[in-house]
Amino acid sequence: MGACNMTLIIFDIDGTLTESFALDAVAFLDALRDVFGFDDIPDDWASYQHVTDSGILAEVFALRRDRAPSPEEIARIQAHFVALLSARVAAAGGIRPVNGVAAVLTRLFASPDYAVAYASGGWGAAARLKLRSAGLPIEGVPCACSDDAVSREDLCRLAQARAEVHYAQSFARTIYVGDGVWDVRASRNLGYEFIGVGRGAGADKLHAEGAVHVLPDFQDSAGFFMLVSTIQPPNKALQRTASGRCAPASGR
């Protein structure tokens, strides 16, 4: 691997890159009802152990059927969910990117100082649909989705591992950008620095969970880049090994 002189920025997708959270949530609940007959599913996503499509599905199945979903059942709901979401996206005239994010991503991809990856709690087909509809980059961007792992922490670890292979680079720092309290928790557990995206009550929840840096969107690109150039992982300082490669401090 190359020298560790880049900062990796891992982006969540729903509510962080794309204005798709509401469409996604409704389609997911409708798919649970249509495919399995599950009504009255709690939509307080923060109450679930793992706020990912696979994690929520597993928890609902454990409560309603006292078992895990089979691979065939997972495939069925994935297909129906993506069909519902696609129809809703078309009816809405497409998905909007979060304000200013397209320009921020363009600058990040053009910079030798930063690497970009995605970590989505949604299934891969849905994540690609949202990014494509919003006109945001997909090809050549390392990504981990709910097809790959159940927990948010494992998704971030996998996104980072794929980024290290893609960029042939170990990273000096890793920053996670997300809009949910579960994103704050995952960042804290992993020792990542965190930048929140939210307004009003959403921003208040992020701050209450411990987020220090919360932006309403990416319109203030200068402010975003000032943050990513200065913040450091909390109490998880990266250390150099004897070989000179960057390695996380013990417990990362």
Do the Cβ atoms of 141 and 163 come closer than 8 Å? no
**Whether residues 50 and 125 fall in one domain:** no
**Whether residues 33 and 14 fall in one domain:** no
**Whether residues 111 and 206 fall in one domain:** yes
Domain boundary among 66, 91, 116: 91
Domain boundary among 91, 119, 137: 91
pLDDT tens profile 45-68: 989 999 999 999 999 999 999 999
**Type of residue at 135:** G
CATH code where residue 227 lies: 3.40.50.1000
**Whether residues 129 and 195 fall in one domain:** yes
- Residue 236 clears pLDDT 50, i.e. is over it: no
**Type of residue at 233:** P
**Whether residues 106 and 155 fall in one domain:** yes
Q: For CA atoms 207, 44, 117, 174, give the dihedral sign.
A: positive
When pLDDT is cut at 50, 70 and 90, the band that residue 231 belongs to is confident
Give the DSSP per-residue string, 49-62: SS-SHHHHHHHHHH
Residue 47 lies in a domain: yes
**Whether residues 13 and 32 fall in one domain:** no
**Whether residues 156 and 79 fall in one domain:** no
- Residue 193 clears pLDDT 90, i.e. is over it: yes
**Whether residues 114 and 153 fall in one domain:** yes
**Whether residues 101 and 144 fall in one domain:** yes
Domain boundary among 35, 64, 91: 91
Rounded to two decimals, the pTM is 0.89
